[in-house]
Amino acid sequence: MGQALAVSYVRVVGVERITPRTARVTFTGDALAELMEDRPDQQMKLCFPREGQEGAPRLPEPDADDTYGMRWYEAYLAIPEPERPTMRSFTVRGYDRRLDVMTVDFVLHGDDGPAARWGRDARPGDVLGMVGPSSLYARPLPAADWLLLAGDETALPAIATLLETLPAGARALVWAEAADAAEERPLGDATVHWVHRDRGGSLADAVRAARLPAGSGAAWLAGEAGAVRALRRHLVEERGLSREAVRFAGYWRRSLTQDDAPTEEDLAWAKEQAGEG
């Protein structure tokens, strides 16, 4: 029998604005100690109550042998739309095993998304549903002489955890895109090249202008899908990184919500990620 899909509830214990547009929210939860792994880049889905719904969002119970959560997801989709909790992807920024507290950084992106709105107004005692994280989705970084990490604000929690767990002596180069200088934050033991959108910067342009080290390189890229695509193309086509050495993920799509169907481009990209493109 496989490992069951983890569906749990987490309760807010603290909220802090670490930058003008980032809410750092700390949570407790009965299942956290069991669910949290000692690995970087743990991804999960948070489930938010619909506007007007009081209390905790209501989620289906998972079956013990529903490893990939297919049956659970069908039951979730069967909840009538006006009552169905909104599900969005997030990263575990940290877990303090002594205090049993998980930290998540919410980008307050200003668009009217339910997750960003919730992060803006979060208060101690608020409850969210959580699906995952699961080691089924853990992917080790490719081995190379140096590692390039790049992403926008949504990817900074993952980049910070990746930097925290790199082996001693590993060479990491970081490009971090943010709205402006006020969004900068410490990310760990690496030189971070900040790229500010208010000054017209983009990740692809910033990396294009950089001198990359000699030796073999690998990359981890995440953020707005179009920006990630452009940077990946540059690294593979112009810098000669092998496709296998570039891990990439679109964390959000401009003008589309996470509920919107995949575009043609998303589907082509998913094929490439699966190594079929």
Residue 88 as a binder of ligand FAD (CB under 6 A): the answer is yes
Q: Confirm if 48 and 128 have CB atoms less than 8 A apart.
A: yes
CB 75 within 8 A of CB 138: no
Q: What is the C-alpha end-to-end distance of the chain, expressed in Å?
A: 33
The side-by-side arrangement of strands in the sheet containing 146-151 is 191-196, 171-178, 146-151, 217-224, 246-252
Find, among 42, 252, 67, 14, the residue nearest to 152 by Cα.
Answer: 252
Residue 215: CB minimum distance to ligand FAD, A? 29
Residue 252 makes contact with ligand FAD by CB under 6 A: yes
Interface residue with ligand FAD, options 63, 66, 67, 89 (CB under 6 A): 89
Instruction: Report, in Å, the least distance between residue 64 CB and ligand FAD.
Output: 26
Residue in the structure block whose two tokens are 């209501």? 58
CB of 157 to ligand FAD, least distance (A): 4
Confirm or reject binding of residue 177 to ligand FAD (CB under 6 A): no
To the nearest 10 degrees (0 to 180), the angle between helices 225-233 and 264-273 is: 50
Q: Which amino acid is at 236?
A: V
Residue in 8, 19, 98 with CA at minimum distance from that of residue 47: 8
State yes or no: residue 91 binds ligand FAD (CB under 6 A): yes
DSSP 238: I
Q: Which of 57, 69, 94, 113 binds ligand FAD (CB under 6 A)?
A: 113
Least Cβ distance, residue 88 to ligand FAD (angstroms): 4
CA dist., res. 227 & res. 256, Å (int):
15
Applying CB under 6 A, does 116 fall inside the site for ligand FAD?
yes
Nearer to ligand FAD, 26 or 154 (CB): 154
With CB under 6 A as the contact rule, the residue among 19, 26, 42, 43 that binds ligand FAD is: 43
- Residue 106 found at the interface with ligand FAD (CB under 6 A): yes
Stretch of 3-11, 84-92, 196-204, 262-270 lying at the interface with ligand FAD (CB under 6 A): 84-92
Q: Does 157 bind ligand FAD (CB under 6 A)?
A: yes
Q: Which stretch binds ligand FAD (CB under 6 A): 77-85, 202-210, 239-247, 252-260?
A: 252-260
**Among residues 50 and 210, whose Cβ is nearest to ligand FAD?**
50
Determine if 95 is a binding residue for ligand FAD (CB under 6 A): no
Q: Cis check for the bond before 133: say yes or no (omega within 30 of 0).
A: yes
CB closer to ligand FAD out of 107 and 207: 107
- CA 220 – CA 276 distance, rounded (Å): 19
Q: Which residues contact 41 (CB under 8 A, 6 or more apart)?
A: 91, 138, 158, 161, 162
| Residue 251 makes contact with ligand FAD by CB under 6 A | yes
Indicate the residue among 172 and 177 with the shorter CB distance to ligand FAD.
Answer: 177
Summarize the chain as % helix, strand, coil (round to 5): 25, 30, 45
Binding residues for ligand FAD, per CB under 6 A?
43, 88-91, 105-107, 109, 111, 113-116, 154, 157, 251-258
